[in-house]
Structure 1
Amino acid sequence: MAEGTKFYSKDQQAFPANPAGKPYFDGLIFHRVIKDFMIQGGCPLGNGTGNPGYWLPDQFHPDLKHDGPGVLSMANSGEHTNGSQFFITHAATPWLDFTDIRAGNHSVFGKVVGGLDIVDAIAGVAVSGPSKPTTDVVIESVRIIRAGEKAEAFEATEESIDQMLRDIAKRQMQEIQEALKIEPTDSGLIYEELKPGTGEFVKDSDTVTFHFVAELVSEANEFGRVFADSVNPRPAPLKITVKELAIMLPGVAEGVKLMKKGGHAMLYIPPALAYGKLGFFAVRVPAHSVVLMEVLLSDVTPGG
């Protein structure tokens, strides 16, 4: 958007309303200013309600925090609702940091390395009401300075972003495989048995009952980003036919068929066997996410 290479809508009436080639942010204002907190801009309507006509997913890294003045971060209205609005902190704001995938919060993507005095000056302007500057603070221009061959070659298209996410997922699965020293199945699933079960292996025709905890793998390859489970707020195991499970989450169905009743396993599921390129907004799973699911298979009912 900043470079004018992506279509967008500023008036919210039609999409695309503005042709590629016109920089998005030039001429917009800082519509929200709160001293000792942050300054916010990037709204095409100048009132905090506008967006470019589409949303971008949350992107978190455990090392990126709102730990002082000058941190550049995405404003949003909830999980995966990043549009064009951003803010620059005027002080440390740790309550905006990412803590849990279900809590959401704000994606840090940059830092002011020169001109903090300008941030101070904007934060100190007179405001009406709680935070609206009495005189417009205008963003004259936003320009991206590319350093290095990779940066010069990078194009922020849907295709390039999609490929970047695919590459991240591929790397994560490779690192998991190397750490566990377990070969994946032909489909790419990595199955780690924690406790063997008894009886026969689960079949396609069976109905299974199991507890689970589902987590995302962060870009730093850390676990613990729980997005769904059958334990909290109270235990409620999932009962489902294997055929239905294969339609919903083929990687889980494949993993369950490697188990016996009473078995306990970890499933490391590549995106193609989980939520794919679309992700799953309802449980806050971004596109091309590697999913780790812990499964405790409590019962197996043979099918007809």
Structure 2
Amino acid sequence: MINKSLKFLVIAALVLVSSCKAQHPDLDDGIYAEIVTNKGTMVAKLFYDKVPVTVANFVALAEGNHPMVDEKYKGKPFYDSLTFHRVMDQFMIQGGDPTATGGGTPGYRFAADFHPDLKHDRPGLLSMANSGGINTNGSQFFITEVPYPSLDIYDANGNLKPCDQPRVSCHSVFGELVKGIEIQDSISNVEVVNPQARNHKPVKDVIITDLNIIRKGSAAKSFNAPKVFEEEMPKVEDHFNALKEEAKAKAEEAEKLREETNALAGVDMKVLFDEYNKDLIELPSGLKMHYITKGEGAKPAQGANVKLNYQGHFTDGRLFDSNLEDVEKKHYGELNPQKVSRGMYKPMDLKISPDARVVAGFKEGAAQMSVGDKAYLLLPSHLAWGERGAGGGFIPPNADVVFIIEMLEIVE
């Protein structure tokens, strides 16, 4: 009888081992998170070789051995039975909050590590949710449905973003779905409470019933998540601060080069300005104008909408703004990436009106022009930004400025 029982246990153990070995046999070596939900199962490969601290945090929470977790969560698989509490179609699904409110934590915050190769550039990416900066991460994560580059830690030019400043999004990508992308899509489409009021909680709970960590290969099996987290996490913020200093020095050097390029280009512009200043029309307000080119088009009536090209210069010829790519390239050596992303290198829309939201001299000068005109405007400071200046000192107080405006068309 004992022998039969022993034989049964041995057979059961062999079956269990065989079952474990057969778990997702098609997966390559690596560490994976099997996210079992009441909508289906997703499997994500975790980038433990590129962001070991963030992966270690996630794995240790999932396996119930995180060294910093609150006492009430110790020894328990943290993610089991939690929900995806925030679901936004064409954006992402977010989970990992024990309170399901968006404000819950596992009892600590940490600085997530990041890697320049890991970007929010496709669907199915796992990334850390946080409340701003790199050091406010906890247990919450999200899975992308579409590319979302504004969440990256690096900007489009590969420069480190100022993650410690308000309203700057910096999130660490740490995994990618290799199975179940259709499950992510189905979850993102569930009915939510009130999207107009920014309440994106599902009407019916989407539950993570189990979150299992799967290790394939010797390197993955030797990844000691609690140890990695404890030993490497304190270094992350120091590394980020070092990168910040490096980025600051790089930005200062780039700004110095921009200023030198602008000053050089400004020399040529100053020669033109000196010529234009010999033939100026002065208006009662103090605005001075010179027509570089006279067009043959109609003059827009008050209230008309027009399209313009413009250049804004200091009186020494240096540029401070333009909607023309060739002008900014000449003066700065490059285009402004923020202006590129916002589509600002295109004709400017302006309503010919005293209420137009531009400085007084600009709208007064534009109101004198006809389609096809290109004019040089010399604005005394009281028709520009006056005693206050602008841009935190970028336009100095009491600065006279120059605009070159070309009126392109009247918009019907």
User: What TM-score range do you get, normalising by the shorter chain?
Assistant: 0.5 to 0.7
Q: How does 1:25-104 map to 2 (within 5 A)?
A: 25-79=79-133, 80-99=135-154, 100-103=160-163
1:285 corresponds to which residue?
Answer: none
Mapped partners of 1:224, 1:77: distance in 2: 25
**Matching residue of 1:216:** 242
1:225-267 deviation line (CA, Å, top 9, x unaligned): 4499999x9xxxxxxxxxxxxxxxxxxxxxxxxxxxxxxxxxx
Question: Cα distance 1:128–1:216, how it changes in 2: closer, same or farther (>3 A)?
Answer: same
Which of 191, 210, 213 is 1:141 aligned to? 210
Letter of the structure 1 residue corresponding to residue 216 of structure 2: A
Matches for 1:230-269 after TM superposition, within 5 Å: none
Shift of 1:68: 1.2
- How far apart, CA to CA, are the structure 2 residues paired with 1:146 and 1:46? 29
2:97/2:140 contact within 8 Å kept? yes
Give the secondary-structure state (helix, strand or coil) at the position aligned to 1:98: coil
Decide which structure has greater helix share: 2
The one-letter amino acid of 2:73's match is: N
Q: CA deviation at 1:161?
A: 3.1
Which of residues 40, 51, 64 in structure 2 aligns to 1:4? 64
What per-residue deviation string (whole Å, max 9, x for no partner) do you get for residues 195-232 of structure 1?
A: xxxxxxxxxxxxxxxxxxx96259xxxx944499999x
TM-fit CA distance, 1:165? 6.7
2-structure distance, mates of 1:108, 1:8: 22
Return the index of the structure with the highest Cα Rg: 2
Cα distance, 1:215–1:5 mapped onto 2, change above 3 Å: closer
Q: Given residue 5 of structure 1, which amino acid in structure 2 is its aligned partner?
A: N
Partners of 1:101 and 1:23 lie apart in 2 by: 34
Partner AA of 1:70 in structure 2: G
Question: Of 160, 164, 176, which aligns to 1:111?
Answer: 176
Give a deviation string over 1:73-126, Cα, whole Å, max 9, x none. 000001211100000001110100112252260000000111110011001100
Kept in 1, the 8 Å contact 2:93–2:144? The answer is yes
Q: 2:229 aligns with which of 146, 161, 171?
A: 161
Match of 1:16 among 68, 71, 90: 71
Q: Summarize the Cα distance change of 1:144–1:225 in structure 2 as closer, same or farther, 3 Å threshold.
A: farther
Q: Is this contact kept in 1: 2:112–2:172, CA < 8 A?
A: yes
Distance 2:93 2:101 in 1: 13
Query: Partners of 1:70 and 1:148 in 2: how far apart?
Result: 24
Task: Specify the SS of the correspondent of 1:2.
Answer: helix
Work out whether residues 67 and 230 of structure 2, in 8 Å CA contact, stay in contact via their aligned partners in 1. Answer: no
Q: In the alignment, is the contact (CA less than 8 A) between 2:95 and 2:140 conserved in 1? A: yes
Distance 1:37 1:227, change over 3 A: farther
CA distance in 2, matches of 1:47, 1:165: 26
CA distance in 2, matches of 1:118, 1:74: 19
> Are the counterparts in 2 of residues 72 and 112 from structure 1 also a CA contact under 8 Å?
yes
Instruction: Tell me by how many angstroms 1:167 deviates.
Output: 9.9
Partner SS, residue 6 of structure 1: coil
What's the % identity of the aligned pairs? Answer: 44
Secondary structure at 1:118 match in 2: helix
Equivalent-residue separation in structure 1 for 2:72 and 2:223 (angstroms): 25
Residues 124, 184 of structure 2: 8 Å contact kept = yes
Equivalent-residue separation in structure 1 for 2:194 and 2:220 (angstroms)? 42
Corresponding letter in the other structure for 2:171: H
Distance 1:166 1:32 in 2: 30
AA matched with 2:229: I
Letter in 2 for 1:68: R
Q: Is 1:102–1:226's contact at 8 Å kept on the other side of the alignment?
A: no
Deviation at 1:147, TM superposition (A): 1.8
SS of residue matched to 2:212 = coil
Aligned residues: 179
